[in-house]
């Protein structure tokens, strides 16, 4: 099978430009060695990591308004990791995770496109309890509540890597699972708030989701 076609685009954040290579067609996939299939990633969902979704745009623009100097930051389910590319360009202390085996290669290419140092990447699943990432001051993610059965796994994974004082910022496009997730995070000792993005005119379609915030 031939390699999927890619495209290049530049996303503007005030006076900062972030260059991104992404998949041109979210229907194509290339898993010649069967690595993704062995991990349980179907051909239908294979390309989803390589598409720049509106939730990722909202997360990056939201993060651009925050002062995170001196914070250790983790992005979960990062996909193309636009927010992390932006944070890394600002020389923030950012680490990223995803389960898809192609994420690391795309991340390295996109980091190089922006002339920045490589971002630490860990290919882990939310059920994985043995890893050496450590604890973080801030944990971010976009559109990570797409499966109801992942709620407990994600909450536990986040809690496993959250410092005793920590802020979690998730962008949810409105898939209907955030209420159960928020209830679980509250039971773990986090204070939950949510709000519409201040601005979202940069998204392809009107954004109907929420910025979910959890702090302890």
The DSSP code sequence of 123-149 is E--TT--------EEEEEEES----GG
Confidence (pLDDT) at 46: 45
When pLDDT is cut at 50, 70 and 90, the band that residue 36 belongs to is: very low
Task: Report the C-alpha gap between 216 and 211 in whole angstroms.
Answer: 17
Task: Report the C-alpha gap between 81 and 109 in whole angstroms.
Answer: 12
Task: Report the C-alpha gap between 74 and 77 in whole angstroms.
Answer: 10
Confidence (pLDDT) at 35: 43
Task: Report the C-alpha gap between 85 and 140 in whole angstroms.
Answer: 13
pTM, two decimal places: 0.89
Specify the pairing of strand 191-195 against strand 210-215: antiparallel
Q: Once rounded to an integer, what is the mean pLDDT over residues 20-31? A: 67
Non-local CB neighbours of 149 within 8 Å, separated by 6+ positions: none
Question: Is the CB of residue 210 less than 8 Å from the CB of residue 170?
Answer: no
**Backbone CA torsion sign across 178, 52, 81, 24:** positive
Question: Is the CB of residue 202 less than 8 Å from the CB of residue 18?
Answer: no
Going edge to edge, which strands form the sheet with 72-75? 121-123, 93-98, 72-75, 136-142, 162-172, 210-215, 191-195
Domains of the chain, each with CATH number or no CATH = 49-215 (3.40.50.150)
Cβ count near 48 (within 10 Å): 16
Q: How far is CA 27 from the centre of its chain?
A: 21
When pLDDT is cut at 50, 70 and 90, the band that residue 146 belongs to is: confident
Specify the pairing of strand 121-123 against strand 16-23: unpaired
User: Is pLDDT above 50 for 38?
Assistant: no
Q: Once rounded to an integer, what is the mean pLDDT over residues 38-45? A: 45
Confidence (pLDDT) at 1: 45
Q: Once rounded to an integer, what is the mean pLDDT over residues 180-206? A: 93
Q: Once rounded to an integer, what is the mean pLDDT over residues 35-56? A: 61
Tokens of 29: 């996939």
């Amino acid at each position: 099978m031939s390699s999927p076609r890619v495209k290049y685009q530049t996303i503007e954040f005030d006076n900062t430009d972030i260059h991104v290579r992404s998949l041109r067609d979210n229907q194509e996939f290339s898993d010649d060695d069967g690595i993704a299939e062995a991990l349980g990633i179907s051909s239908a969902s294979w390309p989803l990591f390589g598409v720049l979704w509106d939730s990722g745009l909202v997360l990056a623009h939201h993060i651009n308004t925050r002062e995170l100097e001196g914070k250790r930051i983790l992005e979960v389910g990062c996909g193309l990791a636009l927010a992390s590319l932006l944070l890394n360009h600002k020389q923030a202390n950012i680490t990223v995770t995803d389960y898809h085996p192609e994420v690391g290669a795309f991340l390295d290419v996109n980091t190089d496109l922006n002339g920045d140092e490589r971002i630490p990447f860990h290919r882990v699943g939310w059920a994985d309890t043995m890893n050496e990432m450590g604890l973080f001051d801030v944990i971010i993610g976009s559109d990570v509540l797409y499966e109801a059965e992942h709620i407990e796994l994600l909450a536990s994974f986040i809690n496993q890597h959250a410092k005793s004082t920590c802020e979690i910022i998730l962008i949810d496009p409105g898939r209907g699972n955030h209420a159960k997730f928020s209830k679980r995070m509250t039971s773990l000792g986090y204070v939950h708030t949510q709000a519409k993005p201040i601005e979202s005119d940069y998204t392809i379609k009107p954004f109907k989701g929420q910025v979910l915030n959890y702090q302890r």
